[in-house]
Amino acid sequence: MNQLDQLKQFTTVVADTGDFQVMKQYTPQDATTNPSLILKAVQKAEYRPLLEKAVRGNEGTDAVMDALLIAFGCEILAIVPGRVSTEVDARLSFNTEATLAKARHLISLYEQRGVARERVLIKIASTWEGIRAAEVLQREGINCNMTLLFSLAQAVACAEAGAQLISPFVGRILDWHKRQAGDKWDAAANAGDNDPGVRSVRQIYDYYKKFGHPTEVMGASFRSTEQILALAGCDLLTISPDLLEKLAASESTVERKLSVDQAQAGNIARIECGEAAFRWQLNEDAMATEKLAEGIRAFAADAVKLEAMITA
């Protein structure tokens, strides 16, 4: 068995792409999208008709954007057997009511296309305001994927809000630590189990399993297959096409690294995550604070670029 097939024995594999051909090739259970991935996809000739159809059939940029997201989501759900993640505009990350309105609208568009809400995860940035929106949406039967997550404080707040799934970002955490260390970065000492992004996800996974939180953990934003394999056993891992290809090309042995039994046996302390505690813990974590803000800006910028394509 290749590494990808071995990994699927321990972990649900999710495709981190808007490319339908990749999904057909590697048969993931679920798929995730974001504005950056959609923007990349619609610049390819084979996906241009989806953009043109959305533009022809809707009035106004917002309506076209929503129609395009739903069009991609429906195409993806015709390929994968599980769920698709569709992202709320990052520019709403600090507005609970606007996030609620957009999430409900996206779900209604899916349901108009005959897609059950159980097959959709609404992606929301893991700000305090986004987490509060998720808490309401989950009570309404709208499942949420909490993205741009870089810290245990964010993860605990999401779990306590009842979020269906979180997407802690592995590669971006590594990027931050490498940049901070500069010439002093020791790649060998910070590889595998010692990778700071891997350690962060393992800490969150262990906390959830120790205290019985049902929220799913989906590692995201990988830079290498080594990071992926160091998290074998995580509930889900969302993987980009180039790394799916590398895993499929290798037959080296994959070992399970994370398990419920191991997590429950650990000595882990509960943390408080009311609003004041959440904001303070996030503020004290320079990496999480910077990467959350940076991620929101980047997704918002790509949404603006996509709107420009629509206008053009």
Provide the 8-state DSSP code for 255: -
User: Which tokens belong to 5?
Assistant: 């097939």
> Quick one: CA dihedral 220, 242, 308, 52, positive or negative?
negative
Q: Which of 8, 123, 209, 291 does the annotation list as catalytic?
A: 123
* Closest C-alpha to 171, from 150, 144, 189: 150
Residue type, 304: V
The DSSP line for 133-161 is HHHHHHHTT--EEEEEE-SHHHHHHHHHT
* Closest C-alpha to 165, from 192, 137, 193: 137
Provide the 8-state DSSP code for 210: H
Does the active-site annotation cover 123? yes
What's the CA gap between 36 and 72, in Å, rounded?
13
Which residues are designated catalytic? 123
